[in-house]
């Protein structure tokens, strides 16, 4: 089995060096380059891996993530797909059932809704329905955007819908290191994995080992230690939460920042242990508030860690509204450092 040669690596460089972009020695590459390298290594390692999706062979290569791969591996293994997500998702599921390892790029999250029948009704259930005899080693990838006028459809964050589905692993990386390691973990997994990335992550450059490595699915990480409040932040909001915590430290508030890295399975133990130390919880996500990721994480802590709480749980998310497309309206709609900072102060000081 070729994947046995890849060893798990949890020795991620200090997150502060990625956030602050200092000159620490090491190989620093762009977020898209980290994804591209993971795909290149997976394609090189395992002939069963192939990459499909709209625009994967374009010069831009899916925001850079798939750039040039079709030139290295040919159109049989890296190929463009038509506007037929339901049908092509069925092709991907069938290929996975037949022993291949497809990586299907959906460059916009709204296209996932067309693939939802295949992903939720079939891919996520076959291993269970056949008593473990069938596996669906399939990766779906989509990118949520903001700040460039992508409006109500292309920019919507749908992770709350997919977190609801048993049998489907859900990954949302926050760093270049995790983008590569979690992509390789997803491709190596025996059953379906959905990766939802964020366009803001693509502004990053981070320290990434050149050799193949995996990051364990279901294991979160503490990005910053603190004693006063636990902040669980999703995707690019990890960097925003970190920046908010650094500013609040000057005011005497020490926030602990947790990056779950995967939403299903969720590292409940890490979150509950942190809340037991701090007594307070802020959860921030790029999606909507009602019935979303923050609701699930907040409910989990209320159910399993209520005795540790010294104050009500605070949730910081985008408003329950379709995303506007105008630049000024976008600035008012999207949450960031200042919103998280206010949430932390509310949790700690009650105002």
The Cα 247–Cα 253 span in angstroms is 9
DSSP 8-state code for residue 264? E
For the CA atoms of 33, 39, 45, 50, the dihedral, rounded to the nearest 10 degrees, stands at -160
Catalytic annotation, residues: 154
**Letter string b/e over residues 142-178, b meaning 16 or more CB atoms within 10 A of that residue's CB:** bbbbbeeebbeebbbbbbbbbbebebbbbbbbbbbbb
The Cα 162–Cα 165 span in angstroms is 6
The Cα 197–Cα 103 span in angstroms is 14
Cβ of 74: how many Cβ atoms within 10 Å? 11
* Chain centre to alpha carbon of residue 114: 20
Region label for 155, one of left (φ > 0), alpha (ψ between -120 and 50) or beta (otherwise): alpha
| Closest alpha carbon to 237 in 292, 287, 275 | 287
């Amino acid at each position: 089995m070729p994947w046995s040669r890849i060893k798990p690596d949890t020795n991620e460089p200090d997150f502060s060096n990625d956030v602050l972009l200092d000159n620490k020695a090491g190989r620093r590459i762009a977020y898209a380059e980290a994804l591209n390298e993971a795909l290149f290594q997976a394609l090189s390692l395992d002939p069963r891996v192939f990459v499909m999706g709209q625009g994967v062979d374009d010069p831009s290569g899916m925001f850079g993530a798939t750039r040039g791969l079709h030139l290295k591996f040919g159109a049989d293994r890296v190929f463009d797909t038509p506007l037929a997500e339901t049908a092509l998702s069925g092709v991907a599921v069938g290929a996975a059932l037949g022993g291949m390892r497809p990586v299907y790029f959906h460059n916009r999250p709204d296209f996932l809704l067309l693939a939802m029948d295949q992903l939720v009704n079939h891919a996520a259930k076959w291993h269970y329905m056949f008593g473990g005899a069938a596996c669906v080693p399939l990766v779906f990838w989509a990118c949520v955007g903001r700040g460039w006028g992508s409006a109500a459809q292309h920019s919507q964050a749908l992770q709350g819908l997919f977190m609801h589905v048993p049998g489907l692993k859900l990954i949302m990386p926050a760093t270049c290191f995790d983008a590569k390691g979690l992509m390789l973990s997803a491709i190596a997994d025996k059953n379906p994995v959905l990766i939802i990335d964020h366009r803001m992550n693509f502004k990053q450059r981070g320290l990434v080992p050149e050799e193949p490595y995996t990051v364990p699915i279901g294991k979160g990480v503490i990005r910053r230690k603190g004693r006063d409040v636990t902040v669980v932040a999703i995707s690019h909001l990890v960097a925003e939460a970190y920046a908010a915590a650094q500013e609040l430290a000057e005011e005497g508030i020490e926030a602990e920042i947790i990056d779950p890295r995967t939403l299903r399975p969720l590292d409940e133990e890490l979150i509950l242990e942190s809340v037991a130390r701090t007594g307070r919880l802020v959860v921030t996500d790029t999606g909507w508030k009602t019935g979303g990721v923050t609701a699930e994480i907040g409910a989990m802590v209320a159910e399993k860690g209520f005795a540790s709480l010294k104050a009500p749980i605070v949730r910081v998310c985008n408003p329950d509204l379709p995303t506007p497309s105008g630049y000024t309206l976008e600035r008012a709609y999207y949450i960031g450092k200042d919103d998280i900072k206010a949430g932390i102060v509310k949790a700690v000081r009650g105002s």
